[in-house]
Structure 1
Amino acid sequence: METKINFGYLVFLSVVAALGGFLFGYDTAVISGTIAQVTQLFQLDSMQQGWYVGCALVGSIAGVFIAGILSDMSGRKRTMIFSAVLFSASAVGCAFSADFNQLVIYRIIGGVGIGIVSIVSPLYISEVSVATYRGRLVSLYQVAITVGFLGAYITNYFLLRLGEGDIFFVNSWINRLFVSEVWRGMLGMETFPALLFLVVIYFIPESPRWLLLKGKETEASSVFSGIYRDPGEVERQLRDTLSVIRSESKSEWSLLFKPAILRIVLIGVCIALLGQFMGVNAVLYYGPSIFESAGLSGGDSLFSQVLIGVVNMLTSIFALVIIDRVGRKKLVYYGVSGMIVSLLLIGGYFILSSSVPISSLFLLAFFLCYIFCCAVSICAVVWVLLSEMYPAKIRGLAMSIAGFALWVGTYLIGQLTPWMLQTLTPSGTFFLFAIMCIPYILIIWKLIPETTGKSLEEIEQNWIK
C-alpha cells in the first residue's frame, strides 16, 4: 500500500489542516492563565468569571452550527480560510480591548473560529486520507490541539514570569501587553500562528470527495493523482466514491431523517456531548485555579499546568502511533477505565486533605494520570470517529450537529465548573465526572462498530446495511 500512495504529500495536507487544531488548542487553553488577572482587573464575580471563560464557547456553538453548511456549500478549504481570519481578528482584538465587553466580543469571534475549525479540519483530513492511515492522520489534528494547549501554557508561564520581573518597556502599549496587563500578551500571541495558518492553507487543494459531490470529477481526479501514485488506484477511488454518492438522490436534510442515518447522528451526538462531562475541560480551563485551591502559588500552579500540557501532548502522539493498530474501541475501554480510577483518586484527595496534611504532589500525579488516560482514549478517538462515521452526502451537516452538541457540553462545563467547585466541593465535582464516564463507555461498547482499517465508503455501506 505504501508504494501506491504519496505518503509525504498526504502528511503535508494533514499537517496544514491540523494547524487549525493548534489554534483550537491555544485559544481554548490560553484562557486558564488569564482568569485571575482579568477577574481582578474587571472585578468579576463567579458568574461573570464563568461567562468570561464560557463566552468563547458560545461562539464555538455558533461556529459549528454554520461549519457544516459553509463547508458543504463553499468547500472545506475556503471554510478553513474563513476560520483563520476569525482567529487573527480575535487575537488582535483581545490584546487591545478597551473594556470587558469588548474582550468578550473578541473572545466570541475567536470561538466561532474554534467551532468552524473543529469540524472542518478533521473532516478535510479524513476525506484526503487513505484507510490504512486515516486514524493516525486524523489524530494529527488532536495532537495539534495538545501542542496548542502546551504552547498556551508555556506562553502563559513565561509571560507571567516576565511581568513579575523588573523589566519595563518605554512604549506604554508594549508595557501593558507584557508587564502591567500581561493577560493581553497571552491572548494576543495567537496572532502569529493564526496568520501562518491563513497563509499555508493556500498551498493545499480542495477535498477530492467534496469536489466529486459538486460534480467536479476532473479536479477531484487531479487531487487523487497527487495522493495515489497508481493510476488504477485513482480510478478505483473515483469509481467507489461516485458509486456511493450516486446511490442516494435525496437531499441532505431528507437523508438526515432516514432511520438508519438518524441513528448514526444521534449516536455521534451522545458521544460528543457525554465526553464533555467527564472532566477534561474543567481541568484544562480551571487547572491553575484548582491547584491554587490545593495550596500552590500562582507560578507553581501554572508550572503544574505546563506539566499537564506536556503529558497531554506526548500521550496524544503515542495514541496517534497506536490508534490504527489497537483500534478505536479498545483505546476507549482502557483509557476511560483509567479515567474513572484517576477521578476517584482526585476526589478522595480533596476529602482527605481537608483533615490530613497531604503533599500536593499526589494531586499533581493523579491529574497527570487522568490526562494520560483521557488523551490516549476519548481525546484521540472522538474526532476520528466523528470524521469517518457519517455518509458522504451528510458528512459536513452531521459533523456540525455532533459538534454543536460537543460545544454545548463544553460551554456548560466552562460556565458551571466554578459553581460546581463551590457548591458540590472539588471532591463532589470529580466524583460526578467519574460517574459520567460509565454511559460513555457503554455506548462505545454496544452501539458503535469498529472502524479501524476500513475505507469511508466501506463504513458507510456497513451502517446502511
Structure 2
Amino acid sequence: MSEEIIDNRTALLHNQRNVTTPRTTMESGGTTGPLLYAVVAAVLGMLQFGFNTGVINAPKQFIENFIRDQYEVAPDLIFGVIVSIFAVGGMIGCPLASWIADKRGRKFALLANAVFGVIGGLLMGFSKAGSSVGMLIAGRFFIGINCGFATTASPTYVSEIAPLRLRGAFGTVNQLAVAFGLVGGQILGIDVILGSDNGWPYLLGLAVLLSAIQCLMLLFIPESPRYLLLVQSDEEKAREVLSKLRGTGDIDEEINGMHAEDRAAKEEEKFTIGDLFRIKALRTPLIIGVVLHLSQQLGGINAVLYYSSTIFENAGLTVEDARLATIGVGSILFIMALVSIPLMDRLGRRTLQLWGLGGMAVSSVLMTAAFFTYKDNFTMSIFAVIFTLLYVAFFGVGPSSIPWIILSELFGQGARSAAVSVGAAVNWFANFIVGLVFIPLTNVLNNLVFLPFTILLIFFYVFVYFKLPETKNRTVEEVTAEFKK
C-alpha cells in the first residue's frame, strides 16, 4: 500500500525536541465541532485512496470480458495496465499536490483533489456505456492523481489544524480511513451487491459520489491557520480561524509556537534532491529510506490488494468464496492499523519493521506451499487463505506505515522535504511495477508467483537488520550525527 502518510506523531516529536515554546495552551487544545468536521472532510480523500486500491479486485473477470468485447488481445495484459496506471497518476499527483498546497493553500489542494476524483469516477462509471476501454484507463489515471493528491494534501492539512497534544492521534485517522475505504470497496464488490457484469461500472463510478461529497464538505472548512500565518502572513485571519477551530480566543501561545518553528526552519540550511545524492551524510539515510519504501511495495502487498480474488481462486476457492475472503484482507489491515498505533512508540520502528518483513517472508513461503498442495487436499485451500491473511497482518505490523515515517526521522528539517519527495516517488513507481507485472508473472511462474517476493523480503530483512538505526526516543540531531561520523 502506497500512501504518503507522514506520521504526524513524528512531526510532533520533532517540534517538541527542536523548538522550545510555551505549551500550556497548546496542550490544553481539544476537539471542537469545526475541527472534527474539517478533519473528516480532509480524510475523505484518504478513504478514496483505500477504496480505489481495493475496488478493482473483485470485478476483474467482468472487466476482462468487457475488454474481450472491444479488443482481440490478451485481456489480462490490458487489465494490468488498468490496475497499474493508477500508480502513474499517483506519481503525478503527489508532487503536484505539494506544489499547489504551497502556492494556493491546503484547502485549494484538497478541492483540486476532489475534482480529479469526480473526473476519474465519471470516466470509469460511463466506460461500459461508452464501450470504451480507453475511458476506463483514463478514469483510473485520473483517480490515481486524485489519490496522489490525497496522500499529500490530507495528512498535511490534518497535521496543521490539529491541536499539538492530539496531532498524533489525528494523524492516525488518515491510516484508518485508507483501511476503511479498502474494506468498503471489497464489500461492495461481492456478487450480490455490485460485483457483477452489470454492476462493476457503478462500483468504480462510486468514486464520483465520494469525491462530490468531499467537494461539498470542503467548501465549508477553513484554510490551515499555519498556512495563513507563515505563508500568507495574514496573522489576523490565522487567529480568527484558529480561535474557531479551538473554540477559544486564548491562542497566543500556539501562534507564538508557529512563529518559533518558522524561525528555526529558516535558520536551518536547505538541501535539494541533488544534494541528497552528492553528500554522503545525506546519501546513506536516503538509501535506507528508499530501500524501506521498496520493501513496502516489492514485498508483494499490492499484488494481494489488487489481485487477492484471483489468488484465492487459483488456490481452489469458488469465485464467491474468493470475494468473501478478499474482504478479510481489508479487514485485517484495518485491525492492524489500530494495533500498530500503540506498538510504534513502545517497541520501536526497527523492531516492528523486522517483525513485519520476517513474518511476511515466512507467510509467503507457507502461501506458496499451500498453493502447491491444494489440489490434493481442499484443506490446503483454507490454509492458503489463512497464510495470505497472516502475510497481510505482518505487513500491517510495520511495513505499511514505517517507510512513510522513517525519512522524517532520519533527516533534519532542511533536507526532510526533499527526502520525503524522493521516497514517495520511489514508492509509487514500485507500486506501478507490481501492478503491471503480477499477472504476467503469474502466467509464467504459476504457483511460484510469490517466490520472487519472498527472495526480496529476505533481502530487505537483512538490509534492515544491518543498516536501519532505531529512531525511537532519539532526537533528529542524534540520528543525523550518526550518519555524519
Match of 1:7 in 2: 30
> 1:118 aligns to what?
151
Instruction: Output the amino acid matched with 1:106.
Output: G
- Which of 9, 20, 26 aligns to 2:51? It is 26
Q: Percent identity?
A: 27
2:323 is matched with: 302
Q: After alignment, is 107-116 or 16-25 more displaced?
A: 16-25
User: How many angstroms does 1:343 deviate by?
Assistant: 0.9
Determine the structure 1 residue equivalent to 2:100: 70
1:79-129 per-residue CA deviation (whole Å, 9 max, x = no partner) reads 122111111221122111211011111111111111121223233344455
By how many angstroms is 1:330 displaced?
Answer: 2.6
Q: Deviations over 1:382-431 (max 9, x none)?
A: 333356655556655543322111111001000000111121223x3222
Aligned to 1:61: 91
Structure 1 residue 356, shift from structure 2 partner: 5.4
Matched length: 445
Structure 1 match to 2:18: none
| Larger helix proportion of the pair | 1
* SS across alignment from 2:350: helix
Q: Following the alignment from structure 1 to structure 2, what is the Cα–Cα distance between the partners of residues 324 and 129? A: 20
The answer for the alignment partner of 2:112 in structure 1 is 82
Unaligned runs of 5+ in 2: 1-22
Q: CA RMSD in A?
A: 3.2
Task: Map 1:310-329 onto structure 2 (within 5 A).
Answer: 310-329=331-350
| Correspondence for 2:174 among 128, 141, 165 | 141
Residue by residue, what CA displacement relative to the aligned partner does 1:337-366 show, whole Å, maximum 9, x if unpaired? 221211111011123335555431111111
Question: 1:37-436 to 2 correspondence within 5 Å?
Answer: 37-43=62-68, 45=74, 46-97=76-127, 98=130, 99-128=132-161, 134-157=167-190, 160-162=191-193, 180-211=197-228, 213-214=230-231, 216=233, 218=235, 226=245, 231=251, 233-234=253-254, 237-248=257-268, 250=270, 259=279, 260-353=281-374, 358-386=379-407, 391-392=412-413, 396-426=417-447, 428-436=448-456
Moved more, 116-125 or 362-371: 116-125
Is contact 1:271–1:443 with CA below 8 Å preserved after alignment? no
Structure 1 residue 463 corresponds to structure 2 residue 484: no
SS in structure 1 at match of 2:316: coil
SS at match of 1:32: coil
Structure 1 window deviating more from structure 2 (28-37 vs 443-452): it is 443-452
Asked if structure 2 preserves the Cα contact closer than 8 Å seen for 1:335 and 1:377, the reply is yes
After TM superposition, the score normalised by the length of structure 1 is 0.84
Matched-pair contact (CA < 8 Å) for 2:222–2:241? yes
Per-residue deviation, 1:19: 2.2
Assess, with a 3 A threshold, how the Cα gap between structure 1 residues 250 and 308 changes in structure 2: closer, same or farther.
Answer: closer
Per the TM alignment, residue 6 of structure 1 is displaced from its structure 2 partner at its CA by: 2.1
Distance in 2, Cα, partners of 1:269 & 1:351:
34
On the 8 A contact 1:37/1:183 being kept in 2, the answer is yes
Alpha-carbon distance in structure 2 between the residues aligned to 1:224 and 1:254 = 37
Letter in 2 for 1:5: S
TM-score (norm 2): 0.81
Conservation of the 8 A alpha-carbon contact between 2:80 and 2:437: yes
- Stretch of structure 1 that moved more, 90-99 or 322-331: 322-331
Contact 2:58 2:186 in 1 (8 A): yes
Please identify, of 269-278 and 403-412, the stretch whose mean Cα deviation from structure 2 is larger.
269-278
Kept in 1: contact 2:51–2:182 (CA 8 A):
yes
- 1: CA distance, partners of 2:391 / 2:463: 21
Distance in 2 of aligned mates of 1:64 and 1:330 = 29
Say which is worse superposed, 198-207 or 272-281, in terms of deviation.
Answer: 198-207
